[in-house]
Amino acid sequence: MKTTILMIALLAGALKSQTVPLANGVYAVEMKGNNLVTRQYEGKDLLLDTANFAPLVIEGKPQVNRNARGSYLNVQLAPEAAKRLEDLTASHMNRPIAVVINDKILSAPTVRSIIKDGKARLTPCEDKSCETLLRQLSR
């Protein structure tokens, strides 16, 4: 009986964590941990660490830029968000992170460098994710 009650409590906690909306931000993508929630991206389940994220607090207006190599989105984060993004990118070099807006993963880039100044460039943007992100962040 105790085992059944414990399993029900654990399942209820897991279901609750899956239904709570995520704040707009950049989340660590992990394989295991204590604060994980699952979200779908490109037909796959990604585990996002809700304790290891940088909020998307934007200063100024984000911009979509295009050149011969493709499109990308430039954003400038507020100072506290910039510091959290620096810490996140430093700890996840060559690993994926997830950009979440309105509880949906819009992109899951691999960290290629530490973002130290709060200026983030999201690439590639060929699948309209940048335009969607731009609209959401410009509200």
What's the pLDDT tens digit per position in 30-85? 998 889 999 999 999 999 999 999 998 889 888 888 888 877 888 899 999 999 99
> Cα–Cα distances in Å, from 19 out to 37, 118, 124?
9, 30, 29
DSSP H helix total and E strand total for the chain: 3, 8
> Cα–Cα distances in Å, from 88 out to 20, 56, 58, 92, 127?
22, 13, 17, 6, 25
3-class DSSP assignment, residue 27: strand
3-class DSSP assignment, residue 120: strand
Q: Residue ranges of the domains in the chain? A: 22-137
The predicted model gives 97-125 an average pLDDT of: 86
What pTM value is reported for the model? 0.73
CATH number of 22-137: 3.30.1360
Exposure on the CB side of residue 18, measured as CA atoms within 13 A: 12
Give pLDDT, residue 20: 82
pLDDT band, very low/low/confident/very high, at 107 (cuts 50, 70, 90) = confident
CB 93 within 8 A of CB 31: no
What's the start-to-end Cα distance of the chain, in Å?
51
Neighbours of 75 (CB within 10 A): 22
| 59/36 Cα distance (integer angstroms) | 28
